[in-house]
Amino acid sequence: MNDFILPDIGEGIVECELVKWLIKEGDVIEEDQAVAEVMTDKALVEIPAPHAGTVVRLYCREGEIARVHAPLFAVDEAGESDGKGGAGEAGGADGQVAPSGDHAPSGAKAPGADSADQAAGEAVNERRSRDFILPDIGEGIVECEVVTWHVAEGDKVEEDQTIVDVMTDKALVEITASETGRIVRFHYAQGENARVHSPLYAYVPDSDDAADEASHVAHEAVMEAGMAPAAAQHAPSACASGMSPAQARIPATPAVRRLLREHALDISAIAGSGRNGRVLKEDVLAYLARDSVAAGTADRPTASSADQRHRGVDPAAVAEPVACESHEPRAARLEARQVPLKGVAAVMARRMVQSSTQIPHFHYGDELDVTELLALRARLKSRADKEGTRLTLMPFIMKAMALAVLEEPILNASLSDDESQVLYHASCNIGMAVDGAAGLMVPNVKGVERLSILEIAREVARLTEAARNGRVPQADLKGGTLSISNIGALGGTYAAPIINQPEVAIVALGRTQRLPRFDVDGNVCARDIMTITWAGDHRIIDGGTIARFSNLWKHYLEHPDEMLLSLA
């Protein structure tokens, strides 16, 4: 019997009213059959069955409130029977009854005890386990790739603990536990595709597991001492078996204790973050990580910035988005292999093909003298540091762009799907391309025209960190109106960017260089120069429009004191 967990219905809804059951207990249902109608504060929603089976129990009555991620009804899947694992409960795989532990030699395991005990335990787990149903992840996504399991089968997990990372064609998404319990079985291996509304893993809820906790701990201690279960009554004390009383009292799962033994760690040295001080797998891994960092800090070399300073540019002033993650040196040989294109990389490939083939691109290049802007940023840096904010050039670049949009709003528009209308947007949401763990992402800062420089800087830092970790909320990836690609952070000078559809323009920023230029008196002087390259949608933008826009944007950046006069 498996519980159907009410999935996410979207838009942050956490509960809904069960209006009508379309099934009853005893009904045989098919996959995707409508089973219930629920009412949210938005609309009436039909809930489909994730798989075929026989309805065993309805947990809510019509008119009651059902909570998201809570069981809605129970179903026996097609082909299940009450006798599942029955042979395992009685004995081994061959159906023979295992010899009783009472006849086993003292201090040794009875022959077949391991297999019999394991089979019985698995049968009990099967009967009591529930399936966690992969909820809706939004935006019509029907499947995702299982990237990393953060727990192991047998682990005890807490409510809201991260269980697994899954990759959609939008972003890396964390799936968390709906309630406290013990993991019994994974339905998918890493690298496999899991379907929304299908079971992701099986677990035994803590409420069902609590009754067995005392006997489970005692059984675990016995097994670690090397005795058969039936010889538990003759088990030595914790001290006699080499385990201190403090160690015996600290709760932890067998998987965690095995990890402790592998690394020769004392469980009492690790602070447990679980319920009642339970030591979780994450606690052990965090302890090992701290140990590793402490051991390696003393001889870790400090990175030098001399290679940037010799050009006269403060490396801390470089605008940070699109900075690529550093990679370990690769082996000095080539090999033939095939790597599937999926996740963010796959959707990026589709969008770039769509954009480059559907949008007639034209490019416009120029250079910016950012000498005065760098000086202003240097003066304001200490104030930003006191606010706990790292101040780069990017917030100034974004703010100047939003001010220029007020004069040329067509740059902040988009074209309707049927190409019959130009859609002007009421907010300037500027995206920035970031090369992160999950691939290239373009999160956007919302309402740049309304934000201060410091507020933009905080958003830039937040989105950059999230993108580099591959964990950008989908709301931050939607609604962009204009984009920046900071190729200069990687050392490039020129680029011909591809528009992030449905936007109509994107600018690529080159690296800042100290170059000779003539001043107003004809004297040669050193200036900080940044190259920029615009790409525009020639269906609704012409060269004159983008030149006027770029010139105004350039003027604000080259004369930041005048930009301040235009701030709202």
pLDDT of 420 strictly over 60:
yes
pLDDT at residue 139, rounded to an integer: 63
CA distance 435 to 442: 9
For residue range 377-417, what is the model confidence (pLDDT) as tens digits?
Answer: 999 999 999 989 999 999 999 999 999 999 999 999 999 98
Tokens of 83: 């006798």
With cut-offs at 50, 70 and 90, classify the pLDDT of residue 103: very low
| Higher local confidence (pLDDT), 89 or 503 | 503
Question: Residue 568: is its pLDDT beyond 80?
Answer: no
Active site residues: 538, 542
Compute the 3-state secondary structure of the chain and give helix, strand, coil in percent, each to the nearest 5. Answer: 35, 25, 40
pLDDT of residue 325: 43
pLDDT of residue 246: 45
Instruction: Select from 506, 198, 145 the least CA-distant residue to 347.
Output: 145
CB 361 within 8 A of CB 494: no
192 burial level (CB within 10 Å; 0-12, 13-18, 19+) = exposed
Read off φ and ψ for residue 130, nearest 5 degrees: -120, 155
What pLDDT, on the 0 to 100 scale, is given for residue 253? Answer: 60
In angstroms, what CA-CA distances link 184 with 131, 135, 206? 10, 19, 12
| Whether pLDDT at 117 is above 60 | no
Other beta carbons within 10 Å of 562: 10
Q: What are 44-84's pLDDT values in tens digits?
A: 788 888 888 899 889 888 888 888 878 888 888 754 444 44
Residue 132 structure tokens: 């966690």
**225-248 pLDDT tens trace:** 444 433 333 333 333 334 444 444
DSSP string, 396-449: HHHHHHHHHHHH-GGGGEEE-TTSS-EEE-SS--EEE-EEETTEEE--EETTGG
What are φ and ψ of residue 394, in 5° steps? -55, -45
Q: What is the pLDDT of residue 564?
A: 80
Torsion of the alpha carbons at 268, 270, 274 and 279, rounded to the nearest 10: -70
Contact 469, 437 (CB under 8 A): yes
Reduce the secondary structure of 446-474 to three states and give it as a string.
Answer: CCHHHCCHHHHHHHHHHHHHHHHCCCCCH
Average pLDDT over residues 16-26: 89
Query: Strand ranges (DSSP E) for 309-404?
Result: 361-369
Q: How far apart are the first and last CA of the chain?
A: 61
Look up the pTM and report it. Answer: 0.53
Question: How does pLDDT run across 512-538, given as a tens digit for each residue?
Answer: 999 999 999 999 999 999 999 999 999
Q: What is the pLDDT of residues 193-208, one digit of tens each?
A: 888 888 999 999 886 5
* Collapsed DSSP state (helix, strand, coil) of residue 232: helix
